[in-house]
Amino acid sequence: MNNKSTPLLFIFLGGLILLFVIAPLVSMFIATSPNQIFETTKDKEVIDSISLTLRVSFLSTLFFAIGAIPLAYFLARTNFRLKKLVNGIIDLPIVIPHSAAGIAILGFISRDSILGKLASSVGLNFVGHPVGIAIAMAFVSIPFLINAARDGFSNVPVKLEKTALNLGASPVRVFFTISLPLAWKNILSGLIMMFARGLSEFGAIVIVAYHPMVTPVMIYERFGAFGLKYARPVSIVFILVCLVFFIILRMLSKEKKQ
């Protein structure tokens, strides 16, 4: 193959992939009138659903990050016999069908489970509750945060940490003043990906909590009940909202890097 033709071939193949991603989205926008989109933005059910989805995904990301980031640091700094198995378990939610993940979560948080009984003792039922939605979102999205944070901590020079320890700093202080700031670029990227993945989850959530209705479930319900014409505007509004939040978060992450 001529070396001069290789870049053109790559550009052509890459263009096909970009077209594959963009074409369905563009066709959806073309098939929906501005009036339909505007009317959807005034639909209280849609707005409440989008608000719930954003809020629960954001809080779920923050809450589970409290444990995920230290776990990522431990995996980056510690070698043990079952480390590969642990890494495989962390990636498991990505590869299993999300409907199966929903069934697993439902069994874990139902009223008959140990966790469900503990929650019932304080008047909380995870099933059909925003907390149940948050658990489902976190289950399928937390690998993105753990893997990104682990890579970030792995890139932090161990010599810096050891030097600080030798100078008398405690392990906790070393973590918060050296390891965490230096790995923050990867951690922030992982947080954004976890948040975004939580927003898009459907399979696990629809089994755990059909109501209150997050937007992916609402899109499915409107498609099943009324057809493509009514589901498409909701999809567009949700995509636009997600894009705005994603762009804002990416801009904030770039400012943090600088």
Instruction: Give the pLDDT confidence of 109-118 residue by residue, as tens digits.
Output: 998 899 989 9
> Is the confidence at residue 2, as pLDDT, over 60?
no
Backbone angles phi, psi at 10, to 5 degrees: -65, -40
What is the predicted pLDDT for the residue at 201? 95
Q: Which amino acid is at 198?
A: G
Beta carbons within 8 Å of 198's beta carbon, 6+ residues apart = 56, 57, 60, 61, 137, 138, 140, 141
What is the predicted pLDDT for the residue at 68? 97
Q: Over range 184-191, report the average pLDDT.
A: 93
What is the predicted pLDDT for the residue at 70? 96
What is the predicted pLDDT for the residue at 255? 59
Q: Which tokens belong to 154?
A: 């792995």
> Is the confidence at residue 55, as pLDDT, over 80?
yes
Q: Which tokens belong to 44?
A: 């209280």
What is the overall mean pLDDT for the chain?
Answer: 91
Q: Is the pTM of this model over 0.75?
A: yes
Q: Over range 78-84, report the average pLDDT.
A: 92
Instruction: Give the pLDDT confidence of 131-154 residue by residue, as tens digits.
Output: 999 999 999 999 999 999 999 999
Beta carbons within 8 Å of 237's beta carbon, 6+ residues apart = 37, 40, 41, 46, 50
Cα 184 to the center of its chain, rounded Å: 17
The domain locations on the chain are 55-210
Q: Over range 26-48, report the average pLDDT.
A: 93
Q: Which CATH number fits domain 55-210: 3.30.365.10, 1.20.1050.10, 3.40.190.10, 1.10.3720.10?
A: 1.10.3720.10
